[in-house]
Structure 1
Amino acid sequence: MREMDSFDRVVEHLCRRKLQAGITELENYLLTYPQLTGLDKLSAIKVDYELMAEYWKRGAKDPEREQVYNQLLHRLYMLTMDLKTTQLYRSNSFWSYVYQRPRKNSMEWGLTDARNKLEEFVSDLAMLDLDPEHVRKVKKDELYAKHQEFMSAFYDYILTSSMWSESVAGQYVDILTSPTIDSNDQQLLVSAITLSALKVFDVNKMLSLLNVYRKSTDMRVKQRALVGWALTIDNDKKALYPEMQQALIEVCADETACQELTELQMQLFFCKNTENDQRKIHDEIMPDIMNNGRIKMTQKGLVEMDEDTLEDILHPEAAELDMEKMEQSVTRMANMQKQGSDIYFSGFSQMKRFPFFNELSNWLMPFYANHPAISAIWNNEKGRKFLHTMMKMGAFCDGDKYSFVLAFDQVLSRLPEQMVRMVENGEAAPMPLGGMVDDSEQKTPAYVRRMYLQDLYRFFRLNPMRNEFCNPFDNSQNYLFFQHSLFASTALQERFLEVVSFLVKRQQVTDASRVLGNYPKEKDYQYCMLKAHILQLKKMRDPFSEKSWFEMALAMKPNDKKAMVGLARSLYSMSLYDKALEVYKQLLIDSPESKSYLLNAAICMVNLRQSEEALKELFKLNYLYPQDMVVVHVLAWALTLESRYEEALKLYGQLVVQEQPFSDNFLNYGYCLWFTGNIPEAIKAFRRYLEMEENDVAKLEKAFLESEQDILAQHQISDGEIQMMLDAVTA
């Protein structure tokens, strides 16, 4: 939309601190659309700017000039964003509905009144203890129903609120850190502020979340606030709002904050990787679990069900194998969960179609049994113990808990009566697939944060209106907050390399590069090693740069084995086999029996045409590791170069019948056959090589005319013969 482009251009000017250009851009837009309000506010900003500029031109000294300039930048930014959202609420039916709903009937949203209602709810709940039990339940249900309606409206109001002033932000911080307000309400409001600040950056909303994180004594509120301010930082606005820098310096001075931010960055990666984890569970883990219907899970572990079948008689070992495979699959899933994977996403994604989730606030509503939508189900005597046990034991996020309760109500009548009775009588307990989560673990900040992130992920992936929101998991500017230069001047920089290492191990090259590029300290050993490893992981490898970084690492840490191995690999990839061999020989001084060093040294010797010397080590390796086909491959090629064709052909006989042979097995086999004069079989071998290389004839030509040209010449194979072989192979 043209108007959105205009708003974005204004913001671009402001981020570059070009106030006059921003004023002109917005003025031209408002003059084009005179029906819009805002021209009077813009005129006030323009007058103030011109007045300040006039005094400046006269040479007047004003120590507060920079502060006034910043205030004008902020006023113009807030006006621009308010105009942008106003246009959105007018032109978009979804946002128009969300905006109008809490404001219907001229409902007032003064924060003093809102706070009073939040506090009255807590006091009214406490007063219920004075009523008789039969009266208490009715009043309690009415109170929760009324309060839920209020909170849903309050949520939508915050979500569509205009830009906040510092005063408004301060009032919200007071509400969200007050001990007289219910924790569930505070958690929900934190989520509303987060979504609002993700939609349109508002520094006061972001800083309010940061202040709630610093001041709150409620761990669940605190962790939601941490996620909120970390995801809503806008690094592009650092010149517009320099106060962000100081706030981050202060919060990161706390070691606990740095630790939690580091954990959060890693947890966000696991959230982003959810769909890959689901494919692994669906394709590799669940088949083993579902195919073993004879096995059930109880609190004491996996138990085989008694079934006197003919299969048991004929194959008694099958039951044991089934049990073992299922145990391995369940353990694997439990380990994935412990590492941070969202193992339940796929299963619960189909349970987000209940009317319950038509309400925006319910997607991020903390789970509480008195929610009007589930209280009757939760307190139903039938199946009650089963339901409560599952909710207590399973690592389910709040949204999945609501889904489970609603789904349980629909399937309760179809559950085997025997199963329900066994659970109710305490004879057995249901066991979630991911295993039981200890109560003490569920109370840790990391666990609380992980569950909340899973709720957020479901909102941004499954909500029917998800495209109307800014998804932080799809935007590296939100998800990868460790790349923000705002953090480079804080104590968090000490954790940068830890996150880079985490990402490198998981092959996240682009993200690892972004974080490493934000590392401000002088290049140290770990930095150099990570830089080199990132270059190795990139598809477009740069061995010269790799070599330089490994050499820098060695200069700081001489004789370091990891750096030496990396340097040797880089030298090898540059075809500097003689220098790579020198490094491997140094490594072998301290580790003379290392299979890896011995084999790589032998490969360098073979490439240097020192095959006779290489054979001494290769025979030894082949004796120690007869099943290692890489050793066999190198040994066969070295024997070929030494014209020991009969021995080489025996080894090629092993190589080409492997289940998954290398294409080079057939290339070298073809050479050996060619050198012995067996041209027909050599042609067949080269053709098989081409098939495995997707008929890349240029690759075969390069091998004949460049890579192995000297070897062919040593065996008196002329250029004409080479061309005839190429013609025969490609015929």
Structure 2
Amino acid sequence: MTIQDINKTYSRIIEWLDRKELKNAFDGLQGLIAGSGHYDFQDKLNELQETYKYMLRYRMDGIQDPMQEQIYRQIQASTYELADMVKQKALAVDSPLYFYSRRRSLKQSCAVSYTYLYQQLSSEPDIQAAHADISAKQQLEAASLTLFNKIWISGPLTTEEVCELQAILQDTEMPESVGCQVVSALLLSLEEYFDKEKMTLLFDAASSQKQEISVRALIAILLVLYKYRKRTSLYPFISDRMHALAEALPSFSQTIQTIILRFILSRETEKISKKLWNEILPGMMKLSPTLGEKINLKDLNPEQLGDEMNPEWQDSIFADKELSRMMTEFSELQMEGADVLHSTFVHLKNYPFFREIGNWFLPFDAGHSVLTSGFKGNQNELHLFEQVTQTSFMCNSDQYSFFLSMLQLPESARTAMMGQFDGQAAEMLRQNQEELQEKHSKVEQIAGRYIQDLYRFHKLFPSHLDFDDIFTYTLDFHHLAEVKPFISDAVSLTAIAEYYLRKNYFQDALNIFEELIQQDNENDILYQKAGYCRQMNGDLEGALKDYLHADLLNPNSKWIIRRIAVCYKTLKQPDKALEYYHRYEVLNPDNLSVQISIGHCHLELKNYNEALKYYYKVDYLDTTSHKAWRPIAWCSFLTGKYDQARKYYKKILEAQPNTQDFLNAGHTEWVLQNNKAALAYYKQAVEKEGGDWFKFYKQFEQDIADLKNAGIEEEEIPLMLDQLRYML
């Protein structure tokens, strides 16, 4: 059986188990065992099948057994676990994947017990010596990496091993970094296969008094719950431990919410990187005071269904300002905690330090031997660079990259750099650090940095393709059954939904707004936001339905009234659009955009004289943009006021004419029997299209009916067009 066959068979088994098709799963497992030759699992498979057959027989005979549901769950869970074990053993010898190759190469170095490593890491004389002796420090760091690797490549943990690891996690004297590494190793191992004992250890870590360990463990728990969401319900202890954590940690729900928001923000990383390289940096290179183009896209139809949010929502969601300068926008992203530095450090992960997988998750320590040995005891230099990293939003991984890159500079260059940091610069660094602490809570900072560390690993680790990239998934943790009880309240869900909304993840936001509407169907704001999400997803009919519901609940919202009007107009129902535009007109009679939109509705309804009234009003009140000239000219043509149409087209052509302007001016001259002028305008229209006759004719063809209504004989049309061709 090839490696590809093993993986395909395993995937099918998991799919069958997810659908609770146990007979198919058993058959698939039988094939996997036979194909891989690992018959030592046969007895376990036979036992599971026999138990399942007995359960089915009792069920079919109508025998009531209060333990039946529990037995069914245990069979399913055990089958999942058996499939994992068979796959692991089948791939152990030959798989080139990084996990299996490292498991083979590290087998000897990780043969020591957890108790032995615990003793190494907790030896007080060794810890004290490490501060003074670089070799002692290196020995402790090596022990920590061995612990990480041993957990990562381990199989299902025994009861004894669980107790040994619990002792490490519960030791309050143990360096915090050790507990953090235990958590990351457990997470990485659980990404390979599910082990309920390792999951139990994550819950133990989440109960730690050390916040860094606790928050990291909660992040790991959420990721594991998401990855195995089809099977976690088979383990009742998970729900029990979640509730126990909620009782033990006063801010449990708030921390979960913070983590969820941070994962939503991580989705922005690639967009931010592209924006940085494609817009911000090039923009800085060519920025000039003359920047500013005049765009007139709304002249013909200013009431397109825009994407502006209701200003009234700003009380409940973050203000998304129109930033006047690109650097200000970048600064805002930084202050929000967005991962703005990912692209900066992409090429700074090739140092030997990052060859050890455990170092990608290591909490930053300026006293790490790889740094202190490089700075050769220059504590002032080390302290300064540490200040820089602490105030620059760098995650742990990037802080190591920064220090390692500084070590590549000649000592003279580093000294010169230090000389530029006077007392004022140091004060600025201190103020930046205080601002960061005020803006983001400790939990936000820990979660943000650890999620960025995880992001770096899954995107930049040399063998990252051998790992399941968690950041390619939706990661909608709020839908997980084990998480829902703690964030299903309206306040938590609203915060998550509005963060999705702000970041333009409209479907994710809509899913939550729909859930909130089920809880409170008298809240017009929820219907507004649901409608807005549908609109931005292109579902105008669904958006209109929500907007109409919001209007019933709050008939005085100008934003909603106008949205409904524009929806009807976009859906080609100008008569209904007019009803709502007139309602808006009562509330805001001087809005010229609405006035011209009313005119457009009358135009579509062929109420040309009524349309002209509104266009005249706009033209009278708006003495600068002249956006009403084109509709006045065309309506004048349609109503037989050809001299007036000619007057307006003359003004339009003196400004910035487009193809349609030349075309309509030509129509006007033709109807006024000025054929030569008509031909000249038609020729300019073709030239405006780059000489493309077919583009010109496509537009001309749409106006033939109007030309006939204006008195142009049908047989004259091909003659005019042929004459035009001869002129081109």
TM-score of the pair, normalised by structure 1: 0.80
Q: 1:255 to 1:185 in 2, by over 3 A?
A: closer
Q: Structure 1 residue aligned with 2:218, among 226, 248, 259?
A: 226
SS in 2 for 1:38: helix
Residue 266 of structure 1 pairs with residue 261 of structure 2: yes
Aligned length: 671
Q: Structure 2 residue aligned with 1:403, among 388, 398, 401?
A: 401
Residue 394 of structure 1 pairs with residue 397 of structure 2: no
Match of 2:679 in 1: 680
Match of 1:649 in 2: 649
Residue 103 of structure 1 pairs with residue 107 of structure 2: yes
Quick check: 1:251–1:257 contact (8 Å CA) kept in 2? yes
Match of 1:367 in 2: 364
Match of 2:36 in 1: 33
Residue 492 of structure 1 pairs with residue 488 of structure 2: yes
* Structure 1 gap segments, 5+ residues each: 129-134, 293-326
Quick check: 2:183–2:217 contact (8 Å CA) kept in 1? yes
Deviation at 1:405, TM superposition (A): 0.8
Q: 1:490 to 1:450 in 2, by over 3 A?
A: closer
Residue 235 of structure 1 pairs with residue 229 of structure 2: yes
Quick check: 1:485–1:518 contact (8 Å CA) kept in 2? no
Whole-Å Cα distance in 2 between the matches of residues 383 and 289 of structure 1?
31
Q: Structure 2 residue aligned with 1:162, among 152, 155, 158?
A: 155
Q: 1:106 to 1:465 in 2, by over 3 A?
A: closer
Quick check: 1:102–1:154 contact (8 Å CA) kept in 2? no
Q: Structure 1 residue aligned with 2:600, among 598, 603, 628?
A: 603
Quick check: 2:110–2:150 contact (8 Å CA) kept in 1? no
Residue 71 of structure 1 pairs with residue 69 of structure 2: no
Q: 1:570 to 1:41 in 2, by over 3 A?
A: same
Residue 532 of structure 1 pairs with residue 531 of structure 2: yes
SS in 1 for 2:108: helix
Whole-Å Cα distance in 1 between the matches of residues 153 and 71 of structure 2?
29
Q: 1:257 to 1:285 in 2, by over 3 A?
A: same
Q: Structure 2 residue aligned with 1:480, among 456, 465, 476?
A: 476
Quick check: 2:619–2:626 contact (8 Å CA) kept in 1? no
Deviation at 1:531, TM superposition (A): 3.5
Whole-Å Cα distance in 1 between the matches of residues 30 and 625 of structure 2?
74
Q: Which amino acid aligns with 1:220?
A: E
Q: Which amino acid aligns with 1:605?
A: H
Q: 1:532 to 1:242 in 2, by over 3 A?
A: farther
Deviation at 1:103, TM superposition (A): 2.9
Q: What is the correspondence of 1:91-170 to structure 2 with a 5 Å cutoff?
A: 91-93=94-96, 94-104=98-108, 107-110=111-114, 112-118=115-121, 120-121=122-123, 123-124=124-125, 128=128, 137-139=131-133, 141-163=134-156
Whole-Å Cα distance in 2 between the matches of residues 385 and 534 of structure 1?
49
Deviations 1:521-572 (A, max 9, x none): 255534433343233223xx44333322222222333343333222111110
Q: 1:512 to 1:593 in 2, by over 3 A?
A: same
Q: 1:148 to 1:381 in 2, by over 3 A?
A: closer
Deviation at 1:394, TM superposition (A): 1.8
SS in 1 for 2:85: helix
SS in 2 for 1:186: helix
Whole-Å Cα distance in 2 between the matches of residues 248 and 556 of structure 1?
39
Match of 1:7 in 2: 10
Quick check: 1:395–1:436 contact (8 Å CA) kept in 2? no
Deviation at 1:64, TM superposition (A): 1.6
Q: Which amino acid aligns with 1:151?
A: S
Whole-Å Cα distance in 2 between the matches of residues 171 and 629 of structure 1?
80
Whole-Å Cα distance in 2 between the matches of residues 603 and 506 of structure 1?
34
Match of 1:350 in 2: 347
Match of 1:453 in 2: 451
Whole-Å Cα distance in 2 between the matches of residues 545 and 63 of structure 1?
46
Quick check: 1:497–1:526 contact (8 Å CA) kept in 2? no
Q: 1:723 to 1:557 in 2, by over 3 A?
A: farther
Match of 2:304 in 1: none
Deviation at 1:76, TM superposition (A): 1.5
Match of 1:554 in 2: 551
Quick check: 2:517–2:526 contact (8 Å CA) kept in 1? no
Whole-Å Cα distance in 2 between the matches of residues 171 and 578 of structure 1?
76
* Structure 2 gap segments, 5+ residues each: 288-323
Question: What RMSD over aligned residues (CA atoms) do the two structures have, in Å?
Answer: 3.9
Quick check: 1:690–1:696 contact (8 Å CA) kept in 2? yes
SS in 2 for 1:285: helix
Deviation at 1:54, TM superposition (A): 5.6
Deviation at 1:263, TM superposition (A): 3.7
Whole-Å Cα distance in 1 between the matches of residues 529 and 609 of structure 2?
37
Bigger shift: 505-514 or 96-105?
505-514
Q: Which amino acid aligns with 1:221?
A: I
Q: What is the correspondence of 1:182-581 to structure 2 with a 5 Å cutoff?
A: 182-202=175-195, 205-206=198-199, 208-209=201-202, 212-213=205-206, 215-232=207-224, 233=226, 234-237=228-231, 240-241=234-235, 256-287=251-282, 330-378=327-375, 379-381=377-379, 383-413=381-411, 415=413, 418-423=416-421, 426=423, 428-429=425-426, 438=435, 440-441=437-438, 444-476=442-474, 479-484=475-480, 491-492=487-488, 494=490, 495-513=492-510, 521=518, 525-538=524-537, 541-581=538-578
Quick check: 2:335–2:436 contact (8 Å CA) kept in 1? no
Q: Which amino acid aligns with 1:275?
A: E
SS in 2 for 1:107: coil
Quick check: 2:558–2:584 contact (8 Å CA) kept in 1? yes
Q: Which amino acid aligns with 2:214?
A: K
Q: 1:664 to 1:107 in 2, by over 3 A?
A: farther
Deviation at 1:90, TM superposition (A): 2.5
Q: Which amino acid aligns with 1:704?
A: D
Deviations 1:620-671 (A, max 9, x none): 44455444364554444444445321332144225535xxx6x765665565
Q: 1:105 to 1:280 in 2, by over 3 A?
A: closer
Deviations 1:346-379 (A, max 9, x none): 2211111111111111111110122221122354
Quick check: 2:10–2:83 contact (8 Å CA) kept in 1? yes
Match of 1:88 in 2: 91
Quick check: 2:180–2:363 contact (8 Å CA) kept in 1? yes
Quick check: 1:45–1:76 contact (8 Å CA) kept in 2? yes
Deviation at 1:271, TM superposition (A): 2.1
Match of 2:309 in 1: none
Identity %: 21
Residue 181 of structure 1 pairs with residue 174 of structure 2: yes
Whole-Å Cα distance in 1 between the matches of residues 126 and 189 of structure 2?
30
Quick check: 2:110–2:146 contact (8 Å CA) kept in 1? no
Whole-Å Cα distance in 2 between the matches of residues 667 and 178 of structure 1?
84
Deviation at 1:179, TM superposition (A): 2.4
Q: Which amino acid aligns with 1:577?
A: P
Q: Which amino acid aligns with 1:281?
A: L
Quick check: 2:646–2:669 contact (8 Å CA) kept in 1? no
Q: 1:164 to 1:61 in 2, by over 3 A?
A: farther
Quick check: 1:265–1:481 contact (8 Å CA) kept in 2? yes
Deviations 1:135-183 (A, max 9, x none): 77444x3332122212212222222333468997787566445523322
SS in 1 for 2:606: coil
SS in 2 for 1:236: coil
Q: 1:407 to 1:610 in 2, by over 3 A?
A: same
Deviation at 1:603, TM superposition (A): 2.4
